[in-house]
Chain A
Amino acid sequence: MNNRRLLKIVLKRVLAAIPLMFGITLLSFMIMRLAPGDPVMMFTDPTITIQDMAQLRQNLGLDQPLVIQYFAWLKQVLQGNLGVSFISGKPVLEAILERLPATLLLSISSLVMILLITFPLGLFSGYFKGSIFDDTVTVFTFVGLSIPTFWLGLVLILLFSLELNWFPTAGFLDPYLFDAGLFAQAGSVLHHLCLPLLTIVIGGIAGLTRYYRFGIIGILNQDYIQAARARGISENRLLTRHAVKNAILPIITILGLSLPGLIGGSFVIEYIFSWPGMGQLGVNAVFSRDYPIIMGTILMSSTLIILGNLLADIVYVWVDPRISLSDA
């Protein structure tokens, strides 16, 4: 019975997402087109004439009114076709899918590592609030947070690649391993993964560590913890059984919220480490005004945002009996 109610709510949410998606795509289409420039105007080259640009604009359908362009795009999407890139002529879906593996590898591994590091770090910092350990963690996480990514990435390349020769400078798969076996290729990719991963993790641990620290401090001040203490429960049991359980809850929200970020990629990291991910695809598409690619990535990430929130809500209901989904 409970499951049926849940299903009904999920269905309702999905249905409500349809007009939401329509609104998101329409708005982003309009905003994108309000920005000056178009894919043709970006060529400022004296060898290219105005006539050629006008013809190209017409070929790409950019001379049509905006609303008509939007509905042409929408019609295409409803038929399961995301269109082709203005710049490369490649199908948008293909362009996105070929970037996905590298993006997911980097984002999932960094998320997992950040969670594994920050949860215990935050927990102990909060529990030993004001201790030397807490202060040290605070200082180091803030240093990590304050270092600009592009600078950290370059320093890591100079140190670990140029000077120590431990890792390759940049890239994803060594071109020389093109014909090698799966294990050799996987090894090469992992080898290339280390530096960008390290860069992201150093920059990323501060926020969540602080988050967990405050979380655990709040929980430890709750009445039920005080009551448990009064009942003489050992500190060990108190922390692992009572406090951690509640502190773990926000991870669900974080995971739900980070779902779209997982496929978004990081432009700066990808740029420095020549990582073939979505961040480069998206940002370059914005620079060159490659509208079909921009719309494709927006469609994809907004779907994931909606999905991520829904999943987080459902999982919450499962793990925390205090929360229930309302079907209002």
Chain B
Amino acid sequence: MNKYYYWVLVMGLSALMGCSSSVNKSTDILQMRLGGEPSVLNPILSTDVPSSEVGGLIFDGLFHVNSDLQLEANLITTYNVSEDHLVYTFSLKPDVKWHDGHPFTSEDVVFTFNKILDPSTNTVRRSNYIINQKPILFEATGPLEVTVSLPQPFSPFLLHMGMGILPKHLLEGVDINTATFNRQPVGLGPFKFHSWHSSQFVRLKRNEDYHRGEVRVAEIIQKIIPDQNTALVSLERGEIDRAGIPAKDVPRYRDQPELDIYEYYDLVYTYLGFNLKHPIFSNTQIRQAIAYALDRQIMIDSVLKGMGQEAHLPSSPLLWSYPEDDRIKKYAYNPEKSRAILAQEGFVLNAKTGMLEKEGVPFKFTIITNKGNKDREKICQLIQQFLKEVGIHVDIQLMEWSAFLKVVNAYKDPKEYDAVVLGWSLGLDPDLYAIWHSSQYPRGFNFIGYQNPQVDRLIEQGRQALQQSTRREIYAQAYQAITQDAGYVFLYIPQSIVGMNKRVKGLSKPGPAGLMNRIEEIYLVE
């Protein structure tokens, strides 16, 4: 699009008219953007980002994730773990009140987790509280004491105890799936729900009685602005105080006097995944050869305008579980090595076509990805070019998201695709079960069909070991095997870029846990 030209036109016109900009700027009201309409303001039901952006301010959990991505006690004073690591006892903070003034007790905690376990609740979080088909048992052993019994040790468990707690006195005997509560929630968090105008804005008011202390901002208005470009103009005009900025627009916003730009690495990675049941890609050597043929830095420079880092394994350097650098197998760009491996595997260059062949069959395959994700489309084109240089012909097929899911999630073996470009988000816990355990194929997210008994064993051990140092070692070994096998070629971890109005103060250190980690400390100046 010739954005540049109309920009020049607009600049010219504005020079004639003299520009101005003034919007309602109260130091009491923080203005945020939501990228879409929230679905349900209920932490156990919601799955969409806007819902959790609103819900995260209204609801509080037993734990809080701080800006170092570590768990911190929130609604509890302490907790004890039995020696066999099966029984956890949580002591709740006393004198905490719901937004309606009702006291918070252990009954609320037990109610919340039992609601998740109730099969009639439309939640997708149930499996987090079921270990080996046995549910975790939650009991109120005192007004402020909750005892939780696990059927077997399970290390990701504490993270799941961070779930937002629901008020029993308002939801008991109500159909939680359709409750009006989901549109007028009452929580324990720093902000009280005030009003929600569908597709317009959500308005929250400060909880004067917040258990973590005084909340400095009196009110938050979260405006629903679906379009990214509109949101950027709103940010520039001061109609919202914070917005994500696409990499290509960063140079324009860097010089805006009223904005600060923050950058941090996201907990996501983009990869090229091979269908390991495919006759060619069942060969590890060939997968490695492809890994050597791709220059990740060029991908980052061209697709992300340099705002990203190379990925080498399914983890992020921001996480405690990330291994020491010398234990990571990196497939540095080396087309010569790639060609050598392919020659060793019996592929010969056909001088006429310039393509590799084996027994007269040319080496070609198709990469599928979802339509509409421009970054992934560009990545596919770059992969196509890099592989052409070593003599492999790549076709690209862009598919509508649901059609794409139908192919990769099809319940059959082998699945009908060659390779896929996709991204995964990373949880705070290093658990690799959902994507790398052999039981998650053909039904599950291990749709490449990765099956390595050693990795299976490590994943199972990792879920049961409780010492962080032990787990770190276990996962380092799992990562080594996974990268050695090259089922995925890990490509990059993108950067999130956030523009923030300078009037917003009290920010936490930039990171995936947000710039407003501890929203109660945020205040506005001017």
A: residues with CB less than 8 A from B are 35-37, 40-53, 55-56, 59-60, 84, 87-91, 95, 98-99, 102, 151, 154-155, 157-159, 161-165, 168-176, 178, 271-277, 280-281, 284, 289
Q: B10: CB under 8 A from chain A?
A: yes
Given A41-B402, A99-B198, A178-B203: A162 touches B237 (CB 8 Å cut-off): yes
Query: B40 contacts the other chain (Cβ, under 8 Å)?
Result: yes
The 9 closest A-B pairs by CB, nearest first: A37-B402, A276-B199, A163-B14, A46-B434, A49-B127, A36-B406, A89-B178, A52-B124, A48-B124
What's the Cα separation between A290 and B241 when bound, in Å?
A: 32
Q: Is the CB of A154 within 8 A of B229?
A: yes
B227 contacts A47, CB within 8 Å? no
Whole-angstrom distance from the CB of B100 to the nearest CB of chain A? 21
Q: Of A42, A175, A274, which is within 8 A of B226 by CB?
A: A274
Contact B402 A272 (CB under 8 A): no
> In the assembled complex, which residues on chain B have CB atoms less than 8 Å from the CB atom of A276?
197-200, 224
- The A interface is mostly helix, strand or loop, or mixed, namely loop
Contact between chains at B197 and A170 (CB < 8 Å): no
A41 touches B409 (CB 8 A): yes
A99-B198, A280-B226, A289-B402 known; 10 other A-B pairs, CB under 8 Å? A35-B402, A42-B402, A43-B124, A89-B122, A99-B199, A161-B233, A171-B200, A171-B223, A176-B24, A277-B199
**Binding stretch for chain A, among B15-23, B57-65, B74-82, B85-93:** B15-23
CB < 8 Å A-B pair total: 181
Contact yes or no, B230 A41, CB < 8 A: no
CB of B199 within 8 A of CB of A163, answer no
Task: Tell me the complex Cα distance, A169–B425, Å.
Answer: 32
Q: Does B141 contact A (CB under 8 A)?
A: no
How far, in Å, is B265 (CB) from chain A's closest CB? 19
Q: A163-B19, A273-B230, A289-B402 are in contact. Are A284 and B37 (CB under 8 A)?
A: yes
The reply to whether B10 and A165 form a contact with Cβ atoms under 8 Å apart is: no
Cβ of A196 to closest chain B Cβ, rounded Å: 11
The A-contacting residues of B in range 391-411, CB under 8 angstroms, are 400-403, 405-406, 409
Minimum Cβ distance to chain B for residue A275 (Å) = 8
B472 within 8 A of A: no
Per-position binary interface string of chain B over residues 181-207, scored 1 when its CB falls under 8 Å from any chain A CB and 0 otherwise: 011000000000001011111010000
- Provide a sorted-by-A list of 27 A–B residue pairs whose CB atoms are within 8 angstroms: A37-B402, A41-B402, A42-B405, A46-B434, A46-B445, A47-B128, A47-B434, A49-B434, A51-B127, A52-B124, A56-B123, A59-B120, A88-B40, A88-B183, A158-B10, A161-B233, A162-B237, A165-B21, A169-B233, A169-B234, A170-B234, A171-B201, A172-B197, A175-B201, A274-B200, A274-B224, A277-B199
A37 touches B405 (CB 8 A): yes
Q: Are B230 and A47 within 8 A (Cβ)? A: no
When C-beta atoms are compared, the residue in chain B nearest to A49 turns out to be B127
Once the chains bind, are A36 and B402 in contact (CB under 8 Å)? yes
User: Which residues of the partner chain A approach B121 to less than 8 Å between Cβ atoms?
Assistant: 59
Give the residue of B179, B230, B443 whose beta carbon is less than 8 angstroms from that of A274: B230
Is A163 within 8 A of B17, CB to CB? yes
**Which residues on the A side are within 8 Å of B183 (C-beta)?**
88, 90
Interface residues on B, range: 35 or more
Is A173 touching B197 in the complex (CB atoms < 8 A)?
Answer: yes
Is B414 an interface position by the 8 A CB rule? no
B362-376 toward A: CB 8 Å interface, digit per residue (1/0)?
Answer: 000000000000000
Within 8 Å of chain A (Cβ to Cβ): is B69? Answer: no
Residue of chain A at shortest CB distance from B445:
A46
Produce 1/0 per residue, B42-74, CB < 8 A to A. 000101000000000000000000000000000
* B-to-A contact residues, CB < 8 Å: 1, 6-7, 10-11, 13-14, 17, 19-22, 24, 29, 36-37, 39-40, 45, 47, 119-128, 177-179, 182-183, 195, 197-201, 203, 221, 223-227, 229-230, 233-234, 236-237, 239, 400-403, 405-406, 409, 424-425, 427, 434-435, 443-445
Instruction: Across the interface, name the chain B residue whose C-beta is closest to A47.
Output: B427
Contact B198 A159, beta carbon cutoff 8 Å: no
Residues of A within 8 A of B200 (CB): 171-173, 175, 274, 276
**What residues of chain B lie closer than 8 Å to A48, measured between beta carbons?**
47, 124-125, 127
Contacts of B199 in A (CB 8 A): 99, 102, 172, 274-277, 280-281
Contact of A157 among B123, B177, B233, B435 (CB under 8 A): B233
Contacts of B444 in A (CB 8 A): 49-50
Q: Which of A45, A98, A168, A277 has the most CB of B within 10 A?
A: A45
Q: Nearest Cβ in chain B — how far from A56, in angstroms?
A: 6
The residues of A that contact B122 with a CB separation of less than 8 Å are 56, 59-60, 89
Provide the residues of chain B in CB contact with A272, threshold 8 Å. Answer: 227, 229-230
Q: How far is the CA of A93 from the CA of B427 in the complex (A)?
A: 38
* A237 to B: closest C-beta gap in Å: 46
| Alpha-carbon separation in the docked complex, A284 to B35 (Å) | 12
* B19: contacting residue among A59, A87, A90, A165, CB under 8 A: A165
Q: Which of B123, B198, B223 contacts A98 (CB 8 A)?
A: B198
Contact between chains at A45 and B425 (CB < 8 Å):
yes
